[in-house]
Structure 1
């Protein structure tokens, strides 16, 4: 990764960032090489620095906004697609605001010669479906960086599949294989933008129309969680703030990370609904490990995650499958804390 470009990102300097990218283009790098070898590498480092507690949310957002602008700028040099070429609709999932991966996919599709309608982050589901009906695309492609955004997607993906349209999904939120994607009703999962291009060459233009499935008990509980998600998060945050060890940890913390707590709690709740609709309980283990890393990096006792699972279970009375899933995560959390003498589980 170019050091001048990285320094400009660290400084939040979009003009210097653009100057560095212009220099890379002048040196002969293609748009794809700049995006893959510099922009995406930098974005991963930005995420790692936030996770490690070295960058604030504001710093992360500033760098991400610069990177998105650079990808848009690089895309402006692409040749216009042939109007006769198929149209692809590219979007994030509902409540998924990490738009950069979807933008990179969209630009990759354009480079491959497809016409693209790019909807960006967190689309409104009904509006998205109206766009699908109006445009009748060759395929619909979704990106999800956060597993916590999967919980309310099953019906929407099913509605698109009921039209006979291929649905291709990808991103970190779907994990390292196609299990979660297929459980949600997607046609295929892709590991990278290049993989997505190959898939579109292989998939039929239209599929058999598949009726939208009736919700399972797990789907119904996940829908209840999503409907009451904001209330559950408030209950969880309020309960954690009353925990004595939490208050002591706050007093000793160097950063005012309390502002991040609501987002962290929302992620845990979203991961629960995602685990229910996909039937994949490894989602909860991933959430446990991720949250432990966040707490450890901020000097907060990992035992607080045990408290979080306990509070979450209290908020889920009347939802037996969800409570059982939380109980499994809580058991793992307790084992993690017990295995480490200072309570900071990794």
Structure 2
């Protein structure tokens, strides 16, 4: 464990972040690894290297993609290099034994952003836990089979994308029914952990360091004693709006894209690839609409739309193209009160109304 103050850590890590960033942008994995190895030789702890250097730089990689300063390929390459550097650090800095117990760390089914969970897994190892890192996209049935086979003290579930929250809910419930408490983490669960609490997780942490601290304190007996239906936790699901919107996703996307030719004339000149990208954007909107219906939270939907508008503007696509898409989505959903409210508030958020 480090004995630095937070201020000392920031002072030590700042220049290292800049050096790591430059190496990643240059595509020089060896130079990137050398930055971290030299810092370890100079007294930086392995945990600080993971959480105060690699973690923040990876966050900057994501922001660089969002602002269109990095291409998808650059973002993927930088992430892959960071992942390999984490592996190299793990082999260079073996954990000090495994006396605390066993923890399974997994990404929710459908969640491919595994680096945050990897950072947690390595931090837990450094703190003396035996860790089963199950990686990205762990199917819930296989996760539960693993729990029965290994009997961990805790499951740490990670998710970065809010549209995985319904799946996370099922995973949380199933893990608890298997007798294992669940610690939830990742951006999907909200900056304040509101969705972790809503979905019944036994604990939540905002980052890997805090999660390791929570694990050390223990979570006790899981709060969910047996499998139950989502509506038992979320009574608003009884109106079936989430189910009907999620099941109608393909039709909603197709009809909205077709209708945009008239509502947004500029789309008539789109290439096939541009139309495909538009369909992908509409699909994301429907997915976030369905998820907002699942958790009954307007802010989840409106914040996604504002974020999407920024992504589009950074790529030279006018954000106003989202407004007719919302209007078209609203037509087949006019008899859905909650969906109608979400679409109206989403439109207002885009226009500043």
Higher relative contact order (CA closer than 8 Å, sequence separation 6+): 1
Q: What is the aligned counterpart of 1:60 among 49, 60, 75?
A: 75
Between Structure 1 and Structure 2, how many residues are aligned?
332
Higher helix share: 2
What pairs with 1:302-317 in structure 2 (closer than 5 Å)?
Answer: 302-314=319-331, 316=333
Matches of residues 65-144 of structure 1 in structure 2 within 5 Å?
A: 65-80=80-95, 82=97, 85-144=100-159
Partner of 1:342: none
Q: 1:29 to 1:294 in 2, by over 3 A?
A: same
Using the alignment, how far apart are the partners of 1:56 and 1:239 within structure 2?
Answer: 30
Aligned to 1:343: none
The Cα offsets for residues 169-189 of structure 1, whole Å up to 9 and x where unpaired, read as 111222221221111121111
After superposition, the Cα gap between the structure-2 partners of 1:224 and 1:124, relative to the gap in structure 1 and judged at 3 Å, is farther
Distance 1:306 1:108 in 2: 44
Give runs of aligned pairs for residues 285-324 of structure 1, distance below 5 A: 285-314=302-331, 316=333, 320-324=337-341
Partner of 2:172: 157
Change (3 A) 1:82 1:24: closer
Distance in 1, matches of 2:279 and 2:155, equals: 32
| CA RMSD, Structure 1 to Structure 2 (Å) | 2.8
Pick closer, same or farther for the CA change 1:182–1:135 going to 2, 3 Å: same
The residue correspondences of 1:206-285 to structure 2 (distance < 5 A) are 206-207=221-222, 209-216=224-231, 218=237, 220-229=240-249, 232-233=252-253, 235-237=255-257, 239-240=259-260, 244-247=264-267, 260-285=277-302
Q: Is the deviation greater in 205-214 or in 101-110?
A: 205-214
Question: Structure 1, unaligned stretches of length 5 or more?
Answer: 340-346
Q: Retained in 2: the 8 A contact 1:174–1:181? A: yes
What's the TM-score, normalizing by structure 2?
A: 0.83
Q: Deviations over 1:207-257 (max 9, x none)?
A: 355333333352754344445545544555555566545438969xxxx87
**In 1, Cα distance between equivalents of 2:106 and 2:243:** 22
Q: Distance in 2 between matches of 1:159 and 1:113?
A: 27
Report the equivalent of 1:145: 160
What is the TM-score with the length of structure 1 in the denominator? 0.84
Where 1:151 maps in the other structure, the secondary structure is: helix
Question: In structure 2, the residue corresponding to 1:303 is in which secondary structure?
Answer: helix
The question of 1:177 aligning with 2:178 is answered: no
Partner residue in 2 for 1:344: none
Q: Which runs of 5+ in 2 are unaligned?
A: 1-14
Cα distance in 2, alignment partners of residues 72 and 260 from structure 1: 35
In structure 2, the CA distance between the partners of 1:118 and 1:13, relative to structure 1 (3 Å rule), is same
Q: Does 1:331 align with 2:348?
A: yes
